[in-house]
């Protein structure tokens, strides 16, 4: 085979394997409840025969707020319409079909809990199930607090304040149009609300009136020990204190955005925020430190006794019971971009945060080498014993069972997005700026090609018949000698390509695009195929039965039966970035928030 002369532009090093336990495989009995308005269901021609979907790895959504009965019985709400309950060491989870990000939670008892969020979303929990409740608006609801079941306040965008008196919701006149993020009050005393542009409002039981905060910075949380001892925190490390007479700015020692402030009885307050910011106040002086590995911290609740709960990024929940933090949910920071199923017993998933997960019995292990700052984007191999992974900064790593990881880094530092090979001695990777590199079993060489457009994926029939796709509808074909551009008839971004053993080529992309190629000796003649969905497709792969599947935005999976594309209802609405079929015909798809789904047709 003729090769282009090329200069090796990579560095190589050996690293040891590092194992980290991630957690057990769980299957949630999550109720999908209807809330809000509109229709998020993908528009498809028809539905494929139903198979069985299970969650091989449960997603960890970012938690934005927490409220509880006790440190061992509480609720957290967060992104993607997620609500979770922790009770005596066990988690229960719910996610709503027409989900909006949930932003606040409050209750009067274990069987009377309210959760609010974007799009006017409000759900009420009766101890067994959540019921949607219309509050009279579809505006975003961002904070909630109440004195009793018949005295609840909700705040939101454009100065929105709602009050529930036990019989229904009514809008209150706030006098401002600034978005309000937080509300807090005292039994028999005033209610306070805070928000954008330093706005602080006070309700005296008759009307809301503005207070002089002394700042124009956004205020994300307001909370107090008493009407004469109140704190507000927000952007740029802003901390304000109210002594019953006036608001005074206090030096925080940080510029991080502070999302919550709270304190235990008889103890000084603490504040939390972005990048793991954790501030304590002693003698009027705030001292910042970093906890939780720098994860964003959003919500806080205390039991009015001795325990403080903190909730944050990608499912993180911690409990402070002096003198140590207890991790109640670790929270994963990886969002998956690639999946590999080499046999019927092993699945690998790679993604952001430098994660490489391997299915292991009833759980998963992170087997990634220690490479800080790397996000992995794709994986390809010949077996569970040997595979390649590519990622950001031009990183390429090779796993061979029983050996240290082999690690290369492109000198160009071009981000790599796709990898595919014929054998461990013939592997190709593509990425930003039209980068294509080739491995011959010893070293990687840069290949000349006719584009500088970023390439997202690569797949082939043989070393003499390979396709790469990318931005602007870019399609390249390699005939074993040169890469040549092909006209796919579209300028839409292409995200993945699949060379089916039947002899056809399929490429998928933005807005539900699918193009089909019939190869000849010069490449392929491309035609548009109706996918039946307007949602972007990010992955495509085939199974041993000849079926072809594509996956993408809003949990869409579609199946090609040789003539039409049909919906395979996942019951999920999370973005799916990767797809693979194992030799037993099981489909594995993975995506945002650490979700991995398994489908048995």
- The structural architecture, per CATH, of the domain 94-102+111-300 is 7 Propeller (2.130)
Q: Please report the pLDDT score of residue 183 as a whole number.
A: 98
Segment 14-19 shows an average pLDDT of 28
pTM of the full structure? 0.79
Q: Please report the pLDDT score of residue 20 as a whole number.
A: 28
Domain boundaries, the chain: 10-24+333-600, 94-102+111-300
Domains 10-24+333-600 and 94-102+111-300 share a fold: yes
pLDDT digits (tens, 9 = 90+) for 112-135: 999 999 999 999 999 999 999 999
- Percentage of the residues of the chain whose pLDDT score is greater than 70: 90
Q: In this structure, are residues 201 and 184 in contact, taking their beta carbons and an 8 Å threshold?
A: no
3-state secondary structure of 515: strand
pLDDT digits (tens, 9 = 90+) for 321-351: 777 899 999 876 668 999 999 999 999 999 9
3-state secondary structure of 387: strand
pLDDT at 95 over 90: no
Q: Please report the pLDDT score of residue 332 as a whole number.
A: 65
CATH number of 10-24+333-600: 2.130.10.10
Going by pLDDT thresholds of 50, 70 and 90, the confidence category of residue 59 is confident
Going by C-alpha positions, the residue among 475, 497, 336 that lies closest to residue 418 is 497
Q: Please report the pLDDT score of residue 46 as a whole number.
A: 41
| Residues whose CB falls within 8 Å of the CB of residue 122, separated by 6 or more in sequence, listed in order | 114, 115, 116, 132, 133, 134, 135, 141, 154
346 burial level (CB within 10 Å; 0-12, 13-18, 19+): middle
Q: Please report the pLDDT score of residue 208 as a whole number.
A: 98
Going by C-alpha positions, the residue among 520, 513, 413, 522 that lies closest to residue 472 is 513
Q: Which residue carries 């039991």 as its tokens?
A: 303
CA atoms within 13 A on the CB side of 270: 27
């Amino acid at each position: 085979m003729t090769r282009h002369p090329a200069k090796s532009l990579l560095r190589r090093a050996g690293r040891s394997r590092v194992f980290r336990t991630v957690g057990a495989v769980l299957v949630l009995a999550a109720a999908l409840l209807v809330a809000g308005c509109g229709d998020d269901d993908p528009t498809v021609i028809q539905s494929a025969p139903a198979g069985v979907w299970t969650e091989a790895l449960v997603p960890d959504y970012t938690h934005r707020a927490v409220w509880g009965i006790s440190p061992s019985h509480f609720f957290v709400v967060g992104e993607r319409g997620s609500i979770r309950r922790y009770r005596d060491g066990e988690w229960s989870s719910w996610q709503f079909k027409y989900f909006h990000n949930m932003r606040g939670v409050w209750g009067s008892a274990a069987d009377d809990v309210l959760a609010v969020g974007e799009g006017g979303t409000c759900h009420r929990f009766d101890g067994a199930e959540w019921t949607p409740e219309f509050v009279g608006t579809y505006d975003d609801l961002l904070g909630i607090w109440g004195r009793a079941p018949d005295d609840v306040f909700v705040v939101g965008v454009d100065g929105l304040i709602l009050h529930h008196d036990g019989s229904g919701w009514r809008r209150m006149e706030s006098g401002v149009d600034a978005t309000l993020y937080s509300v807090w009050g005292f039994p028999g005393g005033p209610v306070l609300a805070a928000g954008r542009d330093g706005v602080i409002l006070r309700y005296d039981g008759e009307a809301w009136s503005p207070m002089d905060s002394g700042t124009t910075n956004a205020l994300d949380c307001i909370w107090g020990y008493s009407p004469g001892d109140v704190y507000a925190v927000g952007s740029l490390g802003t901390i304000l204190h109210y002594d019953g007479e006036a608001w005074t700015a206090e030096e925080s020692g940080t510029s991080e955005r502070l999302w919550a402030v709270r304190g235990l009885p008889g103890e000084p307050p603490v504040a939390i925020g972005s990048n793991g910011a954790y501030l304590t106040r002693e003698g009027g002086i705030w001292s910042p430190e970093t906890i939780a590995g720098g994860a964003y911290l959003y919500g806080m609740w205390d039991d009015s006794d001795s325990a403080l709960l903190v909730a944050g990024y990608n499912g993180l929940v911690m409990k402070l019971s002096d003198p140590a933090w207890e991790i109640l949910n670790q929270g994963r920071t990886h969002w998956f971009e690639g999946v590999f199923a080499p046999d019927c017993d092993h699945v690998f998933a790679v993604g952001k945060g430098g994660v490489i997960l391997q299915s292991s019995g009833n759980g998963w292990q992170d087997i990634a080498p220690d490479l800080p700052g790397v996000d992995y984007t794709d994986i390809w191999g010949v077996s569970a014993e040997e595979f390649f992974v590519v990622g950001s900064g031009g990183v390429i790593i090779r796993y061979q069972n029983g050996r240290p990881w082999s690690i290369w880094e492109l000198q160009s530092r071009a981000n790599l997005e796709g990898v595919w090979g014929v054998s461990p001695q013939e592997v190709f990777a593509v990425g930003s700026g039209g980068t294509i590199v080739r491995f011959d079993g010893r070293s990687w060489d840069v290949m000349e090609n006719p584009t500088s457009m970023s390439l997202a994926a690569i797949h082939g029939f043989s070393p003499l018949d390979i396709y790469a796709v990318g931005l602007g509808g870019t399609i390249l074909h390699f005939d074993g000698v040169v890469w040549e551009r092909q006209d796919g008839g579209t300028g839409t971004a292409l995200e993945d390509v699949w060379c089916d053993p039947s002899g056809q080529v399929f490429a998928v992309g933005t807005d539900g695009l699918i193009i089909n190629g019939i190869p000849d000796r010069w490449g392929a003649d491309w035609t548009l195929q109706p996918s039946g969905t307007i949602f972007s497709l990010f992955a495509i792969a085939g199974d041993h039965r000849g079926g072809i599947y594509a996956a993408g935005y809003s949990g869409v999976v579609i199946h090609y039966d040789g003539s039409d594309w049909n919906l395979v209802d996942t019951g999920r609405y999370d973005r799916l970035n990767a797809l693979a079929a194992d030799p037993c015909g099981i489909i594995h798809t993975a995506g945002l928030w650490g979700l991995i789904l398994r489908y048995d047709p």
